[in-house]
Structure 1
Amino acid sequence: MEMEKDCTCIICGQEKEQGIRIVSHFICEDCEAEMVRTETEDAKYRFFIGRMKKIGLQKNA
């Protein structure tokens, strides 16, 4: 069984087997779970936003 191409999490930088793929970027299950529990007032929220910018999705105005 071949491991998927680049399973390095864009949030924590660790190589993991389980997670989600958004466009061509991988987010591990642990980071995904932490992201959905993080409140907008939490200092870690800005960290997650910064990492998610790597995906490069742009809103259509």
Structure 2
Amino acid sequence: MCIICGSTGKEGIRVISEFICEECEMEIVRTDVQDAKYPYFIHQLKRIWYPKNA
């Protein structure tokens, strides 16, 4: 399941033990730091290194 959007896409990348679907990967790469979505992506990506149950 994608850590960003929750989809169960088959194509994408793994970062440590988390999956990022191809669509989210492409959107993250194209998002400018001034974009309103940028902080959301940062928040979701932090979950890779700082999981709730750690």
> Is the TM-score greater than 0.5?
yes
CA-to-aligned-CA distance 1:1-59 (integer Å, 9 cap, x gap): xxxxxxx00000011100000000000000000000000000100000000001107xx
Unaligned stretches of 5+ residues in structure 1: 1-7
- Moved runs in structure 1, 4+ residues, more than 6 A? none
Look at both structures and tell me which one has the larger radius of gyration over its CA atoms.
1
Task: Calculate the aligned-residue CA RMSD, in Å.
Answer: 1.0
- Identical columns (%): 54
- Structure with more contact order per residue of length (Cα contacts < 8 Å, sep ≥ 6): 2
Unaligned stretches of 5+ residues in structure 2: none
SS at match of 2:37: helix
Task: Provide TM-score, normalisation by structure 2.
Answer: 0.89
